């Protein structure tokens, strides 16, 4: 079942394309924007390919839950997880997608490169990158959550697995002499589901039964995790040093009209208010209510009112 669909990054692409259409960019700024836009599009394509494969296999089953593009913000630490696959044993498969068209490779020292026009360039270890995301996710689960399944009054421990997904047409260069920890988790997108089922089959029978939860409990767990999603909005103008230019606006343009103030109850959700009790709600709660609007009658409700 798909709990959080893949969204891509349409707003970022539109914003970057808009910046490129401006006539006041310096050559250096234009090249920087073009590079960023290419990187965003490439990442979106890789994640879309992986999302399609995962959704194809799991969208019609209630024994597996899927979340795409999940961002958790824990203050000083942030995890941006491309894909999460969760089964009824609370095994969580966290995936980092890398879309290098010509592939990537790791040498005997664990150093990584990608390829562009057949030439290598250094990249950070995708294995280590995903391990950091999982570390943040483990920290997140140490905090009590009312949607986390419990047994004997304690939250059931989750079993975390890391995977790095590479596009099907790319090559994966593996170390020839030394063993690099985690290399077996770097797989092509088309092989991912096979790897997931193999990991599930390795579970000890008795231990597996101890952690088994019902399909509805699994769904509530995944939905609770989705409600913790913390979206981010990039200030692309500031990133490319364009704030001053943008603030000037086109010559002869009129100043922007001030935003209208929300006064009606219909707009209370836009102001971040619970439509039942009026208490303020943050963006995470609003996103969760919109995602599951059929459950809440299309209303924005605070956490307390959701449970009543």
Q: What DSSP string runs through 111-137?
A: -EEEEETTEEEEE--HHHHHHHHHHHH
Residues 151 and 100 in one domain: yes
Give the tens place of pLDDT for each residue, 60-86.
Answer: 999 999 999 999 999 889 999 999 999
284 and 231 inside one domain = no
Strands (E), the chain: 2-4, 64-74, 77-87, 91-98, 104-106, 112-116, 119-123, 150-151, 154-155, 159-166, 172-173, 186-188
Bigger pLDDT: 33 vs 258: 33
Question: Do residues 209 and 288 both lie within one domain?
Answer: no
- Would you state the pLDDT for residue 243? 63
Confidence of residue 262 (pLDDT cuts 50, 70, 90): very low
In a domain, 31, yes or no: yes
| pLDDT reported for residue 268 | 38
Q: What pLDDT does 248 receive?
A: 44
Does 299 fall in a domain?
A: yes
**Contact residues for 196 (Cβ-Cβ < 8 A; gap 6+):** 85, 93, 161, 163
Could you report the per-residue pLDDT of 198-241, keeping only the tens digit for each? 887 776 554 555 668 999 999 999 999 999 999 888 888 888 88
249 in a structural domain: no
Number of domains making up the chain: 2
| Residue 35 placed within a domain | yes
Do 234 and 102 share a structural domain?
yes
Residues 209 and 295 in one domain: no
Amino acid 247: pLDDT? 42
Whether 170 and 101 have beta carbons less than 8 Å apart is answered as yes
> Are 281 and 196 part of one and the same domain?
no
Residue 297 lies in a domain: yes
Q: Are residues 93 and 179 in the same domain?
A: yes
Dihedrals phi, psi of 200, to nearest 5 degrees:
-70, -40
Note whether 203 and 307 are same-domain residues. Answer: no
Q: What does the pLDDT read at residue 69?
A: 94
Q: Which of 88-102, 136-150, 243-257 has the lowest mean pLDDT?
A: 243-257
- Domain assignment of residue 214, yes or no: yes
Predicted local confidence at residue 153, as pLDDT: 87
What would the pLDDT profile of 109-141 be if each residue is shown by its tens digit?
999 999 888 888 999 999 999 999 999 999 999
Please give the share of the chain, as a percent, with pLDDT higher than 90: 48
> Coil, helix or strand for 286?
helix
What pLDDT was estimated at residue 129? Answer: 94
On whether both 278 and 234 belong to a single domain, the answer is no
Domain that holds residue 105: 2-243
């Amino acid at each position: 079942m798909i709990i959080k669909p893949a969204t891509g990054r349409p707003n970022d692409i539109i914003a970057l394309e808009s910046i490129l259409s401006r006539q006041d960019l310096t050559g250096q700024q234009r090249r920087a924007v073009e590079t960023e836009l290419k990187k965003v599009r490439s990442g979106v394509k890789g994640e879309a390919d992986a999302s399609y494969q995962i959704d194809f296999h799991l969208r019609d089953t209630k024994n597996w839950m899927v979340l795409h593009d999940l961002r958790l913000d824990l203050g000083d630490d942030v995890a941006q997880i491309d894909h999460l696959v969760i089964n009824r044993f609370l095994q969580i498969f966290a995936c980092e997608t890398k879309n290098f068209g010509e592939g990537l490779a790791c040498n005997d020292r664990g150093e990584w490169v990608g390829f562009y026009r057949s030439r290598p360039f250094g990249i950070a270890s995708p294995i280590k990158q995903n391990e950091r995301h999982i570390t943040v996710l483990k920290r997140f689960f140490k905090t009590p959550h009312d949607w986390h399944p419990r047994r004997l009054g304690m939250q059931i421990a989750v079993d975390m697995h890391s995977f790095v997904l590479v596009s099907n047409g790319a090559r994966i260069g593996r170390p020839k002499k030394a063993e690099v920890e985690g290399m077996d988790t770097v797989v092509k997108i088309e092989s991912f589901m096979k790897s997931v089922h193999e990991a599930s089959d390795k579970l000890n029978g008795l231990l597996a039964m101890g952690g088994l939860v019902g399909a509805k409990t699994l769904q509530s767990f995944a939905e609770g995790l989705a409600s913790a999603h913390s979206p981010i909005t990039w200030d692309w103008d500031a990133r490319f040093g364009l704030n001053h230019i943008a603030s000037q606006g086109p010559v002869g343009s009129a100043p922007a009209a001030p935003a209208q103030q929300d006064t009606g109850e219909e707009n209370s959700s836009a102001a971040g208010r619970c439509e039942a009790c009026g208490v303020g709600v943050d963006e995470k709660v609003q996103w969760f209510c919109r995602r599951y609007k059929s459950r809440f009658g299309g209303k924005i409700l605070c956490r307390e009112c959701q449970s009543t």
